[in-house]
Amino acid sequence: MKFVNLIKLGLLTAAIATLSACGTMKAASNLEDGAGETAMELWDKWVKCEGEIACATTWERKVADDVTPEDIEDALMSVATEMGIKPVGTLPLSDELKARGIETGYLKVYSFCNPVTARHMVTFSPNMAAYLPCRIVVVERKNEKTGKNELWLYTLNMDMMVKMGKKLPPELKKEAYKVRDTIAKMMEAAATGDF
């Protein structure tokens, strides 16, 4: 009886694997060019981050030591204006925590959006709404080696957003890459103070 159950389990496992492979192949045929390479980069980063998914799916940049939070904000707003993306809000978390009597390092969230691109993306894939708006977060954290506090920038890995989904219509792809390139430029300008 155990032998028959093992055979049934084996056949069921083979059937599931076959169906899963068919589904995987169908999904893969719908992906943007570069999806596999980006997926492997995310996988490698996930392993390096010891399974921390937020670490694997974000871009991060250390801010130069001579760049202040005010410089970061000026850089972000300057690039946003230049590239035609709207600042749609800030969340000064460290100010709020200090107002509650909680001492903390600097922590501020900046939100940006291109309303036209946002609408087009959500029409294409309603689930994309969960990623709106684009955010860049400034985090003060302690360097474990030096003990010195440093400013860092974090944002969603935009390559994941534009390369790992279903193929975008050509015009939407152009719009999505413009947002991706804008966020990358904002991160660079804010980290270096050059804008």
pLDDT digit string, tens, across residues 41-80: 889 999 999 999 999 999 999 999 999 999 999 999 999 9
pLDDT at 21: 60
Half-sphere exposure at residue 60, Cβ-oriented, CA atoms within 13 angstroms: 14
pLDDT at 39: 86
pLDDT at 134 over 70: yes
Per the model's pLDDT, the better-predicted residue between 77 and 13 turns out to be 77
Question: 195 falls in which pLDDT band (50, 70, 90)?
Answer: confident
Which CATH number is correct for 58-192, 1.10.8.80, 3.30.310.70, 3.40.640.10, 3.40.50.720?
3.30.310.70
Which alpha helices (DSSP H) does 30-104 contain, by range? 35-48, 53-56, 69-83, 93-99
Share of the chain above pLDDT 90, in %: 73
Tokens found for residue 135: 């955010």
Q: What is the mean pLDDT of residues 82-101?
A: 96
pLDDT at 16: 60
* Spatial CB neighbours of 59, under 8 Å, sequence gap ≥ 6: 154, 155, 156, 157, 158, 184, 187
Q: What is the mean pLDDT of residues 91-120?
A: 96
Is 129 exposed, middle or buried, given 0-12, 13-18 or 19+ CB atoms closer than 10 A? exposed
Q: What is the mean pLDDT of residues 106-130?
A: 95
pLDDT at 92 over 70: yes
Question: How far is the C-alpha of 62 from the C-alpha of 60, rounded, in Å?
Answer: 7
Among 80, 168, 170, residue whose Cα is nearest residue 121: 168
Mean pLDDT estimate for the chain = 89
